[in-house]
A and B are shown apart, each in its own frame.
Chain A
Amino acid sequence: DTGVSQDPRHKITKRGQNVTFRCDPISEHNRLYWYRQTLGQGPEFLTYFQNEAQLEKSRLLSDRFSAERPKGSFSTLEIQRTEQGDSAMYLCASSKQGVITEAFFGQGTRLTVV
């Protein structure tokens, strides 16, 4: 399968715990995006990488959130000291630099904070 892969698909955690999600983009895509989707809403942009460089972060991304993309391949999104408001679907997408093209999305990681 050469699509965008996210792991885990589901995560239940207790409030205050740290969680980390992983995204493997399509191999030739150098752009990678993280979005958050809450129930009944559209996805909201969180952050964006071009290769290993994190070029933009949304104001939605509080200090408890950190994203990395070492070596410009897979990316991780970590949430520290989780809160109930962090419960959402976290979507990763990738695209190829150059002529604008559609972003391809993974199936997401659904986080539930209890």
Chain B
Amino acid sequence: AQKVTQAQTEISVVEKEDVTLDCVYETRDTTYYLFWYKQPPSGELVFLIRRNSFDEQNEISGRYSWNFQKSTSSFNFTITASQVVDSAVYFCALSGRDFGNEKLTFGTGTRLTIIP
């Protein structure tokens, strides 16, 4: 069985501060994929990043960066110099390679509020 844990339910930071969202996962698959999605108030899930289990390189995209550590089963997400537009619910998700079905197992999400 797969499981994703996002222990932080809500986080509030003042604009321009850095913030890290934690994600811990469990899976028995040797090949798997990790994702982060953003859900603004409009409701649509917006894809941010995909990582496969063989690639532990950290990734940076603008103000966003991701730290994948297989040894601790974590895939944390950092926003640098946060902005009000970053306010949303962020979900970490896991996908296995079960006969090519890429269904996602989501965490419960972290609601991020950036205070102007």
Chain A residues with CB under 8 Å of chain B are 31, 33, 35, 40-45, 48, 55-56, 89, 91, 93, 95, 97, 100-108, 110
Cα–Cα, bound, A56→B100 (Å): 12
Do B44 and A43 have beta carbons less than 8 Å apart? no
8 Å CB contacts to A: which residues of B82-113?
91, 93, 95, 97, 100-109
Given A41-B108, A105-B47, 14 other A-B contacts at CB below 8 A?
A31-B102, A41-B109, A42-B4, A43-B91, A44-B106, A45-B104, A93-B45, A95-B102, A101-B50, A102-B47, A102-B50, A104-B47, A105-B44, A105-B46
Query: B100 and A97: CB pair below 8 A?
Result: yes
Interfacial residues, chain B to chain A (CB-CB below 8 A): 4, 33, 35, 37, 42-47, 50, 52, 91, 93, 95, 97, 100-109
Given contacts A31-B102, A40-B108, A45-B104, contact A91 B45 (CB under 8 A): yes
What residues of A have a CB within 8 angstroms of the CB of B100 in the complex? 97
Instruction: For residue B32, give the distance in angstroms from its CB to the closest CB of chain A.
Output: 10
A59→B101 CA distance, assembly (Å): 16
What are the 4 tightest A-B residue pairs by CB atom distance, in nearest-first order? A42-B106, A105-B45, A102-B47, A107-B44
A55 touches B47 (CB 8 A): no
Q: Tell me the smallest distance from the CB of A111 to a CB of chain B, in Å.
A: 13
Q: Do residues A45 and B43 form an inter-chain contact, with CB atoms below 8 A?
A: no
Are A108 and B47 interface neighbours, CB within 8 A?
A: no
Structural contact, A89 and B91, CB atoms closer than 8 A:
no
